[in-house]
Amino acid sequence: MSDANSRFEVVVVGAGPAGLAAAAAAAESGRRTLVLDATPWLGGQIWRGREAKGGSGSAKRWLARLQATDAVVARQTTVVAAPRPGVLLAESPEGPREIGWETLILTIGARELFLPFPGWTLPGVVGIGGLQVLVKGGWPLDGKRIVIAGSGPLLFAAGAEYRAAGADVVLIAEQTDLGKLARFGLSLPRLAPRKITQAAQYQASLLGVPYRPGCWAVSAQGADRLEGVTLRSSRRTWTERCDVLATGFGFLPNLELPRLFGCRTANGAAVVDDRQESSQAGIFIAGEPTGIGGEGRALVEGLIAGFSAAGRLERAGRLEKKRRRAMAFSRAMDRAFALREEVRNLASPETLICRCEDVARRDLEKFGDWRAAKLHTRCGMGPCQGRICGGAVEKLYGWDAASNRPPVFPVQIGTLRDPEPGSRGASK
């Protein structure tokens, strides 16, 4: 590979909203910029599919803004390690790839939080965001009965999309009580007038779908796949027959890469300054890894990171007010949709917590921390590397399930051992 394709002034890891904004800002500022993403798509999980359709709304604007720059794009490129200072090792369809950087921007997004409950391992139980992404990839929902359970306004957004894909949305169960929701609604207009109209639009398109605040899924039933879900509210417990249960309990920042680089984290998020710079000089972090805040916050943080990485601190500083507003909004959301104790603690002793290694809750209870539990039950030792069960045990026991050992993602051994492209065939 030519040097021109392996060394960049600014390398942006992750091409979701924050990454697109960061790459655009850095490239517009004249920096030789590379943006890479593990998927074949630009736009991250939230804008998946928009690129192929020519985009719409803000996705269209941001994709166009990036395309107008000289930024280089690398798809299906997964960063797995940092073999030397200033160098990333990535897996790509053409084989392993070493990429040199002077400034690094980590915009690696978030994953969904999954809370274990009896039956959650049955095929048919999915994350709400995950199902949205699958639908964009052609997953059939026509005529399927879907129950949506969890917390937050994304339940509506997901319900609207499922419905547009032909699904029969049986119920949206919002674990937060009505009183709390009403208070949140009152606090909204001052913070972000557009958000409430969005929510109203979703609700309108879902007209006729029962929406129940103060209600949550307690278990899923089925033999080889999901057949029904049992729900509970303060008044009753009942079962709904369904093909799909989509759960949405919020998101967890992806922190494996920040940790690999030694960036400081606190309270489950990466610590950054006003310019989005992490505790490691030259490494910027923007979007969900600094705290779950959604698209709006990701875009403004991405711009700040891109301008800062290009040395345009004054330009970045002009976005400060917008950033503060976005942060205030996400904090209000966190408070309004805080998870209730019953929902955190639904797993029975037999419920599997680690789905890779099939480790049940009762096997974990004997241990006082993540490391001891992991060592003796193999919880978190499977291919997901604790990305699913780690979030669950944090919510169940308050354990810190952090890990920072390479590879940060399962990787072909050939990628680790051989950095020279062309010395082995392209991998399927």
Partner 1 sequence: MAEIVSLTINGRPVRVPSGTVVAAALALAGESRFRRSVAGHPRGPLCGMGVCFECSVTIDGRPHCRSCQTLCAEGMEVRTDE
Partner 2 sequence: MYGCDVAVVGAGIVGAACASECARAGLSVIVFDRGPVGGGTTAAAMGHVVVMDDSEAQFALTSYSRRLWRDLAAELPAEVHYEACGTLWVAADEEEMAEARRKEEFCRVRGLRAEILDEAALREAEPNLRPGLRGGLLIPDDAVLYPPSAAMFFLGRAPQNKIEFRAGSEVRALNPDGGVILGDGTRISAGLTVNAAGCGSPDLTAGLPVKKRKGHLVVTHRYPGHIRHQIVELGYLKSAHSVSSDSVAFNVQPRANGQMLIGSSRQYGAEHPGVEFGILRRMLERAAMYLPDLGRLVAIRSWAGFRPATPDKLPFIGPSAGNQKIWLATGHEGLGITSSLATGRLLADMVLNRPSEIPVAPYSPARSLLEGKAHG
What does the binding site for partner 1 look like in residue numbers (CB under 8 A)?
38-40, 45, 52, 111-112, 114, 121-127, 129-134, 137-140, 224-225, 352, 355-358, 382-384, 387-388, 410, 428
Output phi, psi for 256, to 5 deg.
-60, -45
Task: Choose among partner 2, partner 1, none what residue 264 binds, the Cβ cut-off being 5 to 8 Å by kind.
Answer: none
Backbone region of residue 44 per phi and psi (left: phi > 0; alpha: psi in -120 to 50; beta: other values): left
Task: Choose among partner 1, partner 2, none what residue 371 binds, the Cβ cut-off being 5 to 8 Å by kind.
Answer: partner 2
Task: Choose among partner 1, partner 2, none what residue 349 binds, the Cβ cut-off being 5 to 8 Å by kind.
Answer: none
* Binding residues for partner 2 restricted to 338-367, rule: CB under 8 A: 367
**292 vs 306: CA distance, rounded Å:** 19
- 131-139, 176-184, 310-318, 418-426 -> range binding partner 2 (CB under 8 A): 418-426
Q: In what order do the strands lie in the sheet with 168-174?
A: 125-127, 244-248, 145-150, 168-174, 211-213
Among 180, 275, 369, 421, binds partner 2 (CB under 8 A): 369
Task: Choose among partner 1, partner 2, none what residue 368 binds, the Cβ cut-off being 5 to 8 Å by kind.
Answer: partner 2
Q: Residue 416: is it exposed, middle or buried by C-beta count within 10 angstroms (0-12/13-18/19+)?
A: middle
Our finding on whether 56 is near partner 2 (CB under 8 A) is no
Helix (H, G, I), strand (E, B) or coil at 18: helix
Element containing residue 329 per DSSP (H, E): helix 320-336
Size of residue set near partner 2 by CB under 8 A: 30
**How far apart, in Å, do the first and last CA atoms of the chain sit?**
20
Our finding on whether 382 is near partner 2 (CB under 8 A) is yes
**338 vs 346: CA distance, rounded Å:** 16
Among 258, 293, 390, 407, binds partner 2 (CB under 8 A): 407
Two tokens, residue 218: 């307690």
Task: Choose among partner 1, partner 2, none what residue 142 binds, the Cβ cut-off being 5 to 8 Å by kind.
Answer: none
Helix (H, G, I), strand (E, B) or coil at 253: strand
Q: In this complex, which beta carbon is closest to partner 1, that of residue 210 or of residue 410? A: 410
C-beta of 373: minimal distance to partner 2 in Å?
A: 9
**369 vs 373: CA distance, rounded Å:** 6
Site residues, partner 2 (CB under 8 A): 81-84, 89, 367-369, 371-372, 375-376, 381-383, 385, 405-407, 410-414, 416-419, 424, 427
